[in-house]
Structure 1
Amino acid sequence: MAPKRAIRIAGCSGSTTDRRNAMTLLASNYENDPIDVLVGDWMSEGNMTGRANAKFTGQIDAYEPTFLEALEPALPYIAKYRIKVAVNAGASDTQKLHQVVTKIIKTKGLNLSVAWISGDEVLPQLLEAQKRGESPFENICTEEKLDEWQFEPISAQAYLGGLGIAKALEKGADIVVCGRVSDASPLIGAAYWWHNWQRSELDKLANTFVAGHLSECSSYSTGGNYTGFKNLECLGWTNIGYPIVEISHSGEIVVTKNKGSGGEVSVNTLTSQFLYEIQGPWYYNSDVTAILDDISFEQLSTNRVALRGVKGALPPPTTKVGITAKPIYQAEMHWFLTGLDVPAKARMIEQQIRAQMAPHIHNFSKLSFQIIGSPAENPTNQNAATVDFRVIAQARKAEDLAPAKFVRPCIDPIMCAYPGATPHLDLRQAFPKESFEYYVTLLPQASIAHQAHLSTGEVLTIPPPTATKTYPKHQPTQDSTINTVNLNTFGATVRAPLGTIVHARSGDKGSDCNVGFWVRYQDEYAWLQNLLSADFMKQLLANEYKGGRVERCEFPGLKAVHFLLKDHLDRGVSCTTSVDFLGKNCAEYLRSRVVEVPLRFVARGKI
């Protein structure tokens, strides 16, 4: 049988809060811009924990309801054009989501078969293995042992690969709903099914895995969260498009976007998305490991970019597991500080609040006072002179953050506070809300019962990979470049923000933060390689550096230097007290830091 043509897969959602109209937009335009499969990501470490608690308490449905808002209006077009759908929106109740989707389709009188994937919920297996002493289940971010964790698990979800999705599509499913599969798994499963690949075709799988990473955050590949965003204004900021990945039978990848949309697909936009969330030059998935040392992108034409240089290797014998604990509680309130002497004003109100809290403060597991922003020099309006003073606390029990113990002590100093003392009048955040500790570890794939459930009632078991490779605990790291060049050889310099000529992108994985930097020209890259050592990164971080491990690698094909900041974030998005709860602003902070930039690079123009 001759190989099928390249499959065209559109990434239509990157989170629960992505634009809801993407599925309908893409599916309804099939005749002008055909696609074969719609894939989407509705899960994150943030909503995984909340949905796990919803299942534990039984208060609300534990799947992700925003998926239905996107799917339902698109269903007539999906049925008409026979477009396949594979998504990870099941959260902690994929079976219930399957039932709801099936009912909606039946109500509409459409002929669509719905399958669902199970096996990601692994708390019993994990606790039994812990009891037998099979593993310390070390936290891959903090290196803490699970026995040392001070919280009670209520859920554990493993990141599944894409082969359950592939098997469901092979058996005739039109829509496949999943819980915690990896973000790239829907695309891997779709391509694996379409081309009838085998598990041994590692290069094809690795290319597809990276393609899945490029598309899983939807518009991040077409201009969203991109440091060159100012150049996109003329291309349309209000209608930034969605990535469409074309995958040939041989595994070659081309990324484009839906016709008529804004933004762009370029080497730079894809470099931005690629550097987001990776942990180094080895990229792990349940189905394959992608070796990224030689990765590059080639601009084929306007809005068409080819992926090059990815190599495949065996998958690890384990997969990542996210463990959610019983909730803790968090409350916060805000003051406004304006004009002169901001540090002294903050010091005064903090001491006054601490004095009021003294009888209860021992029950707080965390208490933080934060100045957010800085007043402009010689401001021309009052807003420019004002910063936010944030008080945030966490405790094991909700009653420990009751109004008499938190918000009243925060507000009561108002008549004896700093000049201009003004609290925020909206105190809804000052009452205790649930927050969830999250622990990331590894579980053998052989311990997971990965299954595909068809609409006929048939259940297909997906065996773990028979060939795997155990990788070192830490990624390859290089504290400084081996391509040493004296920085003085780049000529006269000017003090300027690093981001004057350097792009960057950062993100979170648990409490780890990654940040990648890249430049436009090869001579700029020689400078960047030599400037950005691990030690210089610690200097750039300044007061943000917490003493953690810094891992560094280079991607010459992208003119990029990448850093993994171990345990840099405050425990992760589900329970952090940081306003940069996704680690995305770390890159923007670092780009704003002033360094010595070669004058001739600046003369080429700013980013």
Structure 2
Amino acid sequence: MSPLPTSLRIASVSGSVTDRRHAFAEVARNEDVQYIVGDWMSEYNMTMRGGAKSNPQSDNAEFETSFMEAIEPALEALARRRIKVAVNAGASDPEKLHDELTHVIMSQGLDLKVAWISGDEVLNQVQKAIQSGDPLVNLTTGKKISEWGFTPIYAQCYLGCWGIVEALNHGADIVLCGRVTDASPAMACAAHHFSWQRTSYDKLAHAFVAAHLIECSTYVTGGNFSGFKSLHGKYLDIAFPVAEISPSGRFVITKSAGEGMVTVDTCKAQLLYEIQGPYYYNPDVVAVLDGIVMEQEGPDRVSVSQVKSVRPPPTTKVGITANGGYQAEAHYFLCGLDTAEKAAMIERQVRNLLDESSFHTLKFRCNGSCPPDPANQDAATVDFRIFAQARDESALSLHKFFRPCSDTIMQSYPGATFAVDARQALPKPYYEYFVTVLPQDQVNHICHLPFKDTFIPINPPLDTVPFLYEQPSFETENPVDLSTFGPTTRGPIGWIVHARSGDKGSDCNVGFFVRHSDEWDWLRSALTIDMVRKLLGQDDEARPIFRFELPHLWSVHFLLKDHLDRGVSSSSTYDVLGKNLAEYLRCKFVDIPNKFLERGKI
């Protein structure tokens, strides 16, 4: 099908610092788009780059160098085809990134004007708030910063789209941001292109959702999709997404040429990723998601409508970084029978040799299990992980951590074997991360236009609605008696249910959805908060869980508060990004109606 009338086309070419570099140049050369956006930022590199900037001895770059690797081959096509660019890549020094990129552009003899955005660095504002007695409540744990126990060394807030809009309005070809929201670059392209006002809330809300759907690049075109088998092997070079946005805000998600797919289900999965409830917050608008509608318009084309809006909050989210201390880990391998007993034996022996009082985190975890009658020895092998964190580096020295972990091996369980590569057992620094909000009127949001030797301050929103620390949570209305669905088979819920999960700080969200309309009543009736706690099993630590429904998407969403042990930069778990929570829950057994199984498994 043809693009929407008078629509603009925005391509997303990066969803993280580790995304494929080639996409930028390929899209710039070959795709019919007016704008390219990309995201190289995450909570992890916010802490890493912020920590590097606060440490004068650090030799780490303070912006994302992989962005330069991606954009340099694309510059000629961008200049020739007059494609505008807005990216989240500056990390803790977008000005330095501006200087480096401008140098490369000049060396290539190209006519490209580069702007950059500042104001996201807010350590001074955070310190003043602490000194004035502002409680600064953690969004994930509900605790005050005074209870945190760590000293902030860096703080970065999430800016909205209007600085980028000003840069584009004044002729910038490329806009570099340190930390705007993931959606801000694409929102800005739409607002600039159609001359939307700051109060065009319904239009902005639609653009916000469009931006969210493409911000993680190939997550909406088949990557990280629980239905990946339906790609039929066409996933070696999955294409990148394109949003076609109309003047009214209505939009279609499609993709560039290549492998992958855009379906209602891939779009549902990405929508559910990282949201926190029915209200999706941004500094410029709040999108209300519970009435959203998605429809398959044609091959690789999904239209999205019925996004409602609320005026923006007076606050914006802030990530605060602190030196957490040091961490180290050691691994043993258990094999075959009695792995639980073997794990208990080695744990008791190691604890007997360690000075546990020197650690603020010490965890022993058995990862994996030996299946009945395993096909080979590797399949029968289980990883036993010893993970420790301490304020003092000396507490994790060779003699105080690795030696006590390893020196008991000769008296331990049958087959006792530790990982011979012990580099992870040496102490390395790590960062703690505290997520809160600050008033937007305390943020010095500025658009810098070096090619005009000027800058433009960006005012905060004036007409606002207070931020909700806790969003609405509810069980389903009029649940259906599950026995009415007929005979059942005990099996993994993932046989018929898709899911997607992600992290925000130490919170983890997970959304479930089904493929057929008559499965919706079963899903909403079966997936209660109590059922999710049962599915979590030993991982349920009785923390709050919030639930809401997206009925037009046949989806139930859950927010698990403080589920990820402090979040990606400091977590003691393997699933530091919360992405595997969905896949864990999909493998748990429930009673599935046989009539749904007859359609085939996902």
Question: Does the pair score TM above 0.5?
Answer: yes
Residue matched to 1:142: 141
Residue matched to 2:213: 214
User: Aligned to 2:337, which of 340, 356, 362?
Assistant: 340
* C-alpha separation in 1, matches of 2:118 and 2:110: 25
Which residues in structure 2 correspond to 1:52-63 (within 5 Å)? 52-58=50-56, 59=58, 60-63=60-63
Residue matched to 1:469: 465
What is the RMSD computed on CA atoms of the aligned residues? 1.1
Residue 216 of structure 1 deviates from its aligned partner by: 0.5
* C-alpha separation in 2, matches of 1:139 and 1:81: 45
Task: Judge conservation of contact 2:314–2:467 (CA < 8 Å) in 1.
Answer: no
- Distance change (3 Å), C-alpha of 1:475 and 1:527: same
Task: Judge conservation of contact 1:4–1:194 (CA < 8 Å) in 2.
Answer: no
Amino acid at match of 1:66: S
1:197 maps to 2:192: no
* C-alpha separation in 2, matches of 1:189 and 1:167: 9
SS at match of 1:326: strand
Which residues in structure 2 correspond to 1:28-43 (within 5 Å)? 28-29=29-30, 33-43=31-41
* C-alpha separation in 2, matches of 1:61 and 1:228: 38
Residue matched to 2:282: 285
1:582 maps to 2:577: yes
Task: Judge conservation of contact 1:41–1:87 (CA < 8 Å) in 2.
Answer: yes
* C-alpha separation in 1, matches of 2:147 and 2:193: 46
Task: Judge conservation of contact 2:285–2:310 (CA < 8 Å) in 1.
Answer: yes
Residue 313 of structure 1 deviates from its aligned partner by: 1.4
Residue matched to 2:555: 560
* C-alpha separation in 2, matches of 1:398 and 1:64: 28
* C-alpha separation in 1, matches of 2:376 and 2:128: 62
* C-alpha separation in 2, matches of 1:160 and 1:302: 35
User: Aligned to 1:363, which of 346, 349, 358?
Assistant: 358
Task: Judge conservation of contact 1:246–1:254 (CA < 8 Å) in 2.
Answer: yes
Residue 297 of structure 1 deviates from its aligned partner by: 0.6
Residue matched to 2:87: 87
1:255 maps to 2:253: yes
Residue 128 of structure 1 deviates from its aligned partner by: 1.0
Residue matched to 1:13: 14
Residue 536 of structure 1 deviates from its aligned partner by: 1.1
* C-alpha separation in 1, matches of 2:380 and 2:335: 5
* C-alpha separation in 2, matches of 1:132 and 1:150: 18
Q: Deviations over 1:286-316 (max 9, x none)?
A: 0100011101211000001101110121001
Q: Deviations over 1:342-392 (max 9, x none)?
A: 0011111111111121xx321111111111111111012101110111111
Residue 483 of structure 1 deviates from its aligned partner by: 2.9
* C-alpha separation in 2, matches of 1:103 and 1:298: 45
Which residues in structure 2 correspond to 1:180-579 (within 5 Å)? 180-234=179-233, 236-259=234-257, 261-357=258-354, 360-455=355-450, 456-478=452-474, 480-579=475-574
Q: Which runs of 5+ in 2 are unaligned?
A: none
* C-alpha separation in 2, matches of 1:111 and 1:510: 41
Task: Judge conservation of contact 2:150–2:324 (CA < 8 Å) in 1.
Answer: no
Task: Judge conservation of contact 1:282–1:289 (CA < 8 Å) in 2.
Answer: yes
* C-alpha separation in 2, matches of 1:244 and 1:108: 28
* C-alpha separation in 2, matches of 1:559 and 1:604: 17
SS at match of 1:552: strand
Q: Could you tell me the TM-score, scaled by structure 2's length?
A: 0.98
Amino acid at match of 1:461: P
1:599 maps to 2:590: no
Task: Judge conservation of contact 1:414–1:421 (CA < 8 Å) in 2.
Answer: yes
Task: Judge conservation of contact 1:4–1:195 (CA < 8 Å) in 2.
Answer: no
SS at match of 1:606: coil
* C-alpha separation in 2, matches of 1:471 and 1:73: 42
Q: Deviations over 1:67-121 (max 9, x none)?
A: 1111111111111111111111111111111111111111111111110000000
Q: Deviations over 1:528-554 (max 9, x none)?
A: 000011111111111111111010000
* C-alpha separation in 1, matches of 2:418 and 2:472: 49
Residue matched to 1:64: 64
Amino acid at match of 2:20: R
Task: Judge conservation of contact 2:168–2:192 (CA < 8 Å) in 1.
Answer: yes
* C-alpha separation in 1, matches of 2:469 and 2:61: 38
Task: Judge conservation of contact 2:289–2:307 (CA < 8 Å) in 1.
Answer: yes
* C-alpha separation in 2, matches of 1:453 and 1:54: 24
Task: Judge conservation of contact 2:315–2:467 (CA < 8 Å) in 1.
Answer: no
Q: Could you tell me the TM-score, scaled by structure 1's length?
A: 0.97
Residue 4 of structure 1 deviates from its aligned partner by: 9.2
* C-alpha separation in 2, matches of 1:173 and 1:327: 40
Residue matched to 1:103: 103
* C-alpha separation in 2, matches of 1:471 and 1:26: 38
Task: Judge conservation of contact 2:240–2:255 (CA < 8 Å) in 1.
Answer: yes
* C-alpha separation in 2, matches of 1:539 and 1:343: 22
Amino acid at match of 2:493: L
Residue matched to 1:160: 159
Residue matched to 1:77: 77
* C-alpha separation in 2, matches of 1:341 and 1:132: 57
Amino acid at match of 1:76: E
Amino acid at match of 1:532: L
1:44 maps to 2:42: yes
Residue 163 of structure 1 deviates from its aligned partner by: 0.7
Residue 222 of structure 1 deviates from its aligned partner by: 0.2
Task: Judge conservation of contact 1:333–1:410 (CA < 8 Å) in 2.
Answer: yes
* C-alpha separation in 1, matches of 2:86 and 2:143: 35
* C-alpha separation in 1, matches of 2:525 and 2:146: 42
Residue 125 of structure 1 deviates from its aligned partner by: 1.2
Q: Deviations over 1:209-230 (max 9, x none)?
A: 0111101100000000101000
SS at match of 2:155: strand
SS at match of 1:506: strand
Amino acid at match of 2:458: I
Identity %: 53
Name the count of aligned residue pairs.
596
Q: Deviations over 1:413-455 (max 9, x none)?
A: 1211111111111111111111110000010001001000012
* C-alpha separation in 1, matches of 2:378 and 2:175: 49
* C-alpha separation in 2, matches of 1:217 and 1:457: 34
SS at match of 1:405: helix
Amino acid at match of 1:486: D
Residue 65 of structure 1 deviates from its aligned partner by: 0.9
SS at match of 1:460: strand
Amino acid at match of 1:312: S
Task: Judge conservation of contact 1:169–1:193 (CA < 8 Å) in 2.
Answer: yes
Residue matched to 2:25: 24
Q: Deviations over 1:529-581 (max 9, x none)?
A: 00011111111111111111010000011000000001111100000010001
Q: Which runs of 5+ in 1 are unaligned?
A: none
Task: Judge conservation of contact 1:244–1:258 (CA < 8 Å) in 2.
Answer: yes
